[in-house]
Structure 1
C-alpha cells in the first residue's frame, strides 16, 4: 500500500483494516504523513465530528490537590463516531504533571508493584530501579531503557490475561483519589480503581493493537492518562477488520474508554517529540502540590526522551468484594 493511496484515497481508507493503519503510522522509512491525525485542539477541521461537553459550573468540584486544574477550565470532548470515548484535554497543571511523572518513576517502579524487569534478575533485593537510575553510573545507563511496565493493585498476568485474588497489592492512595475525582466529575460515580498498568515508552516504543477485556467488570470505564512525549493513539472498531482513527495524545491528556468504546481495538504505533513541553512551564498560581526538586531534575531528564501512560481499571463488578465472590447487584 503506497503512502499516497493510504492518505488520500477515501474509498481505500474505508476498506483498510486496523493492522494496516498501525503499520502505516509505525513506519520509519518512509515516515507517515500526519495530515489525518486528529488534533483535538483543531478537531473541527478534521473528518471526524467532535462534540464539546460544556463544563457544568453548578457542580461543586473544587480541585486543589493531585495537580489538577479547577474543573471550570477543563475541556472535555466526545466523539460522535466513537460512542463512549471521552477526551479531557490536559486537566493537569504543569507542576501536577511533574508530580505524576516523578511518582511513576520514583514510586511506582518499586515493590510491592511488579515490573517487567523482575524476571531478569537485573535488580537485587537491596536496590530498586529508581535508585539505580539516579546513581548515574554504568549500571544506570544500562537500566534506563529496560523498564517497560509496572502493575499496581490486581496484577495483570500477561500470559493468562487474567487477574488473581492471590496476586495483588494496594492501589496507591493518591492514584485512587485522583481517579475518583475524574470519574465522579464525568458521572461515573461507582468507579473504584482496583488495577493499574504504568507503561514506560521510549521514543521507538509501540503498543500493538488490542482490546482490554481481562476485567470482570466490563461496564466500568477505563482511564488512560499520559505524560511526556506525544503519542499517536489508534482506536478502531470491534474487530481488526475495521479502519481506525489516529488521534494525538499529548502530555496531561486523559482518554476515558466507556460503553462501546471499551471493546474497541486500540494501540500506539508511534511516539513523537512534543515541541510544547507544557510540563516544564512554570506558573506560581498552580503550585498546589509538592515536587522534590532533586527528584524532578532526574525525572525531567528521563521524560525528555520518553512517554509515560497510566491506565486505571475497575476489576470487580458492583457488589463483589473479591474475584471469588459471584455476587453483584442488579
Structure 2
C-alpha cells in the first residue's frame, strides 16, 4: 500500500507555500474575512461581559458596545475582535511598538550584532532614517523573555512588563470573561512586505489554559491556523489593522503561521477623525497604570502629523503584531515555584 503519511504531514506546508508564492500569485478567494460573513465559516458572538470598561477610552479603544466579535466554526476557541481601536488609539499603539518597546532592557533580535540601547532613536540619530537598521528589527520581547533556542522561560530572564499593555490586555480579557488573566510575556513581531512567519505552536508557557492575545497594526496579513498536527489543512484568515485574534481552549495549541503580508485597503491611523478622549484619567480605576495622564499626553503627540510622519513612513509598508500571553498559573509566583513543579 502507498505511504500517504508524507502527503498528510505536508498539508499545512502546502498551504503555506501556496500563499507565500510570488512567481504564481495566489488567489485570495478562500481567505476568510469577517467583513464578508459566511454562515458555514464565521459566526457573530456576544461575550457575556460586554459592558463598557471606562479604562478602554484612555487606551485607545471604542466603547465595547461597538465591538464586533466573531468565532470560527472549524476552529473552536478561535475568536477575532474586528478592530475595536479608535484611529488615535491605533497611532498610540504603533508609536509604543516602535519608539518604546524596543528600548533596553527589553530584548531584540539585533542584540547579537549591535549594542543599541534605543533602536528608534538610533534609526534617526543622523537626522535621516537609517532604513537598513530599521528593517533589521524583527522582534522584541517584553516581560518574561522567550528563549528561542530552549523554548523555555526563566525567572532570570525577565524585565518589567509595560503597564499600558498590561492594562490593555486586561480590558480585552475581562470582556471575554477571562477574569484572572494577567499578561506576563509578549513578543512584538515586525513584518515587512516580504516577511513570513513559519508554522509553529505556542507551548512554552507553564499555563496553557490561559488564552493568547494577538494584536495587529499596519498592513494586513494572511493568517493560517490548522490543528494540533500538520496533517490538518489550515484555514486562511485575513487580519487587518486593529484586529485582535484570541487563541483559547482547543485553538490554544494549534499550528499557525503568517505566509504573506498584504497591502491594506484602509489606513485608519491616517483617518481624519483623530479625536482623543477627555482627560478623565483621575476618575478611572486602573489596575496597573501608575501615571494614566501619560496616555493622553502620548496620544496628543501622536495626532500631531509632523511628529507622526516618521511612524507613518514605517507603518505604510510594514505590519506590527503584539502577541501577549500569561506564563504562570494563577497564584504561582515564579517559574521555579515548587508547588507547580511536575504538574
Aligned residue-pair number: 312
Note the aligned Cα RMSD (angstroms).
Answer: 2.1
Instruction: State which of 86, 90, 111 in structure 2 corresponds to 1:118.
Output: 111
Q: Which runs of 5+ in 2 are unaligned?
A: 1-6, 279-295
How is 1:13-92 mapped onto 2 (pairs within 5 angstroms)? 17-44=11-38, 48-54=40-46, 59-62=51-54, 63-92=56-85
Cα deviation, 1:176-225, whole Å, max 9, x if unaligned, reads 00100000010001101000000000110000000000000000000000
Q: If the length of structure 2 is used for normalisation, what is the TM-score?
A: 0.86
Task: Name the structure 2 match of 1:107.
Answer: 100
Offset of 1:112 from its aligned partner?
1.0
1:49, distance to aligned residue in structure 2 (A) = 2.2
| Counterpart-to-counterpart distance in 2, 1:58 and 1:145 | 39
Q: TM-score, normalised by structure 1?
A: 0.89
Q: Secondary structure at the match of 2:112?
A: helix
Q: 1:91 to 1:75 in 2, by over 3 A?
A: same
Asked if 1:93 corresponds to 2:89, the answer is: no
CA drift of 1:134 comes to 2.6
SS in structure 2 at match of 1:205: coil
Shift of 1:276: 1.0
Task: Determine the C-alpha separation between the residues in 1 that align with 2:147 and 2:307.
Answer: 31
Per-residue deviation, 1:55: 5.8
Q: 2:258 aligns with which of 247, 268, 272?
A: 268
Segment drifting more, 16-25 vs 193-202? 16-25
Could you tell me which residue of structure 1 aligns to residue 338 of structure 2? 326
Q: 1:57: Cα distance to partner?
A: 8.0
Q: Secondary structure at the match of 1:43?
A: coil
> What residue number does 1:300 align with?
312
Does the residue aligned with 2:327 lie in a helix, a strand or coil?
coil
SS of match in other structure, 1:40: coil
Aligned equivalent of 1:222: 212
Distance 2:241 2:52 in 1: 26
